Structure 1
């Protein structure tokens, strides 16, 4: 898959950016501000907007979270602002996209909440009204600089490559600005061939519509750089305007908060790498990440900063989780939930992504570090004491662990398996199995999972059982009993749509039960959806609904009487726990950990014969007795509450960690 197609598939871009039109459209300008905590800075920012741009529409998205202290007073003093409030932190890119959608006929002025407007920006507004100009920025005064040290044109940067990114990280961009090794210009540029920083950035609506919105994978930092790269690739121009713009000092919103500052630096580093990957290749991204890790260890100033953020002499071992990407799925979500709970219990926790970040980074508390690190450079800053690495059973994570494990005597490694075991042959390659045997323990999801994983090859002499969990004990305290099925029973399947998940088998099984009342909704998307959906008989379309992608289990299960999991291959399907946590009864194929999850059929219906006839018989038995479903859902809920909470998962991992250090 090309980078362009991957970007379109992952981030919703429908095609290449369109070239600039022959004539620009004259539009009003809207001011967009994304707030994050620090209401005093936001107040100062909005006062300056009111002074210099009093007639413009101003929209603010507050990422601080509900009822952040001091924010209500700022809102009260600015009633004319269009406020978007109360959401969790959705990230800068997503917030800008949401605000831009609320002002569809306007050009856009992106203004940081820690930036102070110094004038009416007449030149900047004129610049984006010119045909072919995608974005323009005025000069930025650094609040920490003074006199000759201030270079307000440094808002403009040369095109960033691997060498320039590393030079900037090393702190030599200023000294080398007269060479091609620096991303800084020696004098105000006539044409910007890289990007303009986003502290005060005006964007043409024509360009926004042609190029597309910000890529929300960036979450924070790098999104405006990526957008401008796409715009320039389509023939648009960037303009640096010689007028006084704003006073701005970087990272103002996290000043005085070392934990938030650390997350900010980790996001910046990862998103510079993401820009290099999208604009060049993943190898340059990995070289940048490895290079910055090396610089942190050899530069004196970096060593001091690194030492200051390490927890020395911690009573509990540090815990590192690895994953390829923080995308919605099984193991990735569990690492976030488990890491958050262990962090709450006093462990130093780091999540290391081998490839890229992902949308789940928004759900990780700032006290849990999230870093991007290539598998072949396993350099993670930790305290001076014991540490344990928890990996998946992939090649990249195992390679990372093998190198990491050799670098310290007080290091331990646990393999947290999540790949569905093969039932008739070895699951792992010979080399991967041999590498995993060097771990200090293999963590299985259930007793049956361990039996199947170890049936055809030796994956480790010491093993632990630590089932996943999806809800906290507190969240389950007020789950009301389900009412009897009223009307036509609503069946739901929620999964990635690939053949081994068997949505077509479920439809064919129900096709033979037309005389019974039922309605099926299939949620999810995937590479096999079009082909498998086409197998649904036309005269069943009023009863079988392919709903497509769901934003999460809550949406898919909101109107569900029975969850169906017909897969022929699973390890530990979390959707079963999601249903059990809502007292929704479950019917599932008897594969891997599923019988353990459903208490051998007491807490849910098991289908041993995973064929159309086998599923049809099992469904008939349930559909003929819907009055039994609430009791089945209650037994599943009790099972989940006892064995599959986040706390139970953390208890099991704590026991395993203690054991490997015993």
Structure 2
């Protein structure tokens, strides 16, 4: 078995990290993995070369069809017999490669969107060998009853090798550091979180908020403006994109993810839980598949500052609950949401296609 992942993104994001971690684990299984990226994207080439063999082509023009003969030649040269497509933008290219090489085709579904059943999409569905959905939310939205045997629920898994235990710098015991990790944008609930921190700070000035993530220039400027406008610069810190997320998680006392959009999964929740950080999350998507409310984390139905503030204060004030949530959260991730379990399921699905 040799696997080719088709990655047509222009910048690094969650989907690219998903492929990276999968390739990293496949290497441990001694299964050859390849990543097809655009020939001009040196950043993606440099990153993926650490865990996989790189194949390059002109993917940005005509969705890669200008380079199809070159891709087929390389697939045959390396004996690649499985194609993994992670974006609908490149599914036609992947179908063509399947037809020309005889490889099996796996189509990954990373978003909670309703499956389309028009004649064009039914044709695509009939030629894909298997669909992998990263949560039950995604599976329920995507599965087509007449071909349900092609659809598989395989939860995202964290690469535990990226999160070893480390000794962090000693924090002042009085400070309680809340963390946020995600895209800097309004629909992730970041301003409700900021308002919640201000509410807590008015009665307890030992609260801190550490914000980690990237976004477009205007959204980041709006965040800075909000922090300055409400005089929060002394207890709110924006640290931007972080390569070393292990150190980030282990520097905070809880993680809050108050998203207002329908999330397909919640990888940052799993990462924090594995790092023994209690998490607070909204119920806007697959978060309920990860967290049992009050046991392995705290779920909030309403994304508003008062509800978020009360949830944070619960963790601040009750050591017994906080310690229990940390222990149960760690166990939950280790038993269900690791990259090893994810790859084991994917490899089993592929082998059963033969």
TM range (shorter): 0.7 to 0.9
Q: Does 1:352 align with 2:46?
A: no
Q: Which residue of 2 aligns with 1:53?
A: none
1:554 corresponds to 2:246: yes
Question: 1:497, 1:475 → 2: CA distance?
Answer: 23
Tell me which of 614, 635, 647 is aligned to 2:328. 635
Distance 1:440 1:526, change over 3 A: same
Distance between the aligned counterparts of 2:351 and 2:138, measured in 1? 22
| CA spacing shift, 1:390–1:432, aligned 2, 3 Å | farther
1:444 aligns with 2:133: yes
**Distance in 1 (alpha carbons) for counterparts of 2:248 and 2:268:** 10
1:465 aligns with 2:186: no
SS state at 1:559 partner: coil
1:529 pairs with 2:217: no
Q: Is the contact made by 1:349 and 1:369 (CA closer than 8 Å) also made in structure 2?
A: yes
**Cα distance 1:484–1:335, how it changes in 2: closer, same or farther (>3 A)?**
same
SS class of match (1:382): helix
Q: Which residue of 1 aligns with 2:209?
A: 520
Deviation at 1:626, TM superposition (A): 4.5
1:605 and 2:298 are equivalent in the alignment: yes
Contact in 2 for aligned 1:504/1:533 (Cα 8 Å)? no
Deviation per CA, 1:330-349: give whole Å up to 9, x if none.
12112122123223323332
Equivalent-residue separation in structure 2 for 1:581 and 1:540 (angstroms): 30
Q: Distance in 1 between matches of 2:120 and 2:249?
A: 38
Instruction: Please say if residues 418 and 571 of structure 1, whose CA atoms lie closer than 8 Å, have aligned partners that are also in contact.
Output: yes
Return 5+ residue gaps in structure 1 as ranges: 1-316
Does the 8 Å CA contact 1:506/1:566 hold for their aligned counterparts? yes
Using the alignment, how far apart are the partners of 2:96 and 2:43 within structure 1? 28
Query: How far apart, CA to CA, are the structure 2 residues paired with 1:343 and 1:432?
Result: 36
Secondary structure class of the residue paired with 1:588: strand
Counterpart secondary structure, 1:526: coil
Work out whether 1:389 is the aligned partner of 2:73.
Answer: no
Measure how far apart 1:650 and its partner are. Answer: 1.0
> In structure 1, the residue corresponding to 2:8 is in which secondary structure?
strand
The answer to whether the aligner puts 1:500 opposite 2:187 as a matched pair is yes
Equivalent residue for 1:417? 109
Does the 8 A contact of 1:523 with 1:547 survive in 2? Answer: yes
TM-score by length of 2: 0.81
Question: Per-residue displacement from partner, 1:133-152 (whole Å, max 9, x unpaired)?
Answer: xxxxxxxxxxxxxxxxxxxx
Q: 1:508 to 1:469 in 2, by over 3 A?
A: same
Change (3 A) 1:583 1:596: same
1:490 aligns with 2:184: no
| Structure 2 counterpart SS, 1:325 | coil
Q: For 2:54, which of 345, 348, 370 is the aligned residue?
A: 370
Gaps of 5+ in 2: none
Q: 1:471, 1:511 → 2: CA distance?
A: 34
Structure with more of its chain in helix, by fraction: 2
Q: 1:400-421: per-residue Cα shift (whole Å, max 9, x none)? A: 212222224x4221111223x2
Give, in whole Å, the separation in 1 of the partners of 2:187 and 2:19: 25
Q: Distance in 2 between matches of 1:435 and 1:496?
A: 35
The answer as to whether partners of 1:325 and 1:355 remain within 8 angstroms in 2 is: no
Query: Which structure's relative contact order is higher, taking Cα pairs within 8 Å and 6+ residues apart?
Result: 2
Match of 1:583 among 254, 260, 276: 276
Q: CA RMSD in A?
A: 3.2
CA contact (8 A) 1:449 1:571 kept: yes
1:268 maps to which residue? none
Q: Secondary structure at the match of 2:329?
A: helix
CA gap of 1:418–1:349, structure 2 versus 1, over 3 A, is same
Task: Map 1:267-306 to 2 at 5 A.
Answer: none
Alpha-carbon spacing, 1:338–1:601, altered in 2? closer, same or farther (3 Å): farther
Instruction: For residue 251 of structure 2, give the secondary structure of its aligned residue in structure 1.
Output: coil
Please give the alpha-carbon distance, in whole angstroms, between the structure 1 residues aligned to 2:239 and 2:345: 37
Please report the TM-score for the alignment, with normalisation by the length of structure 1.
0.46
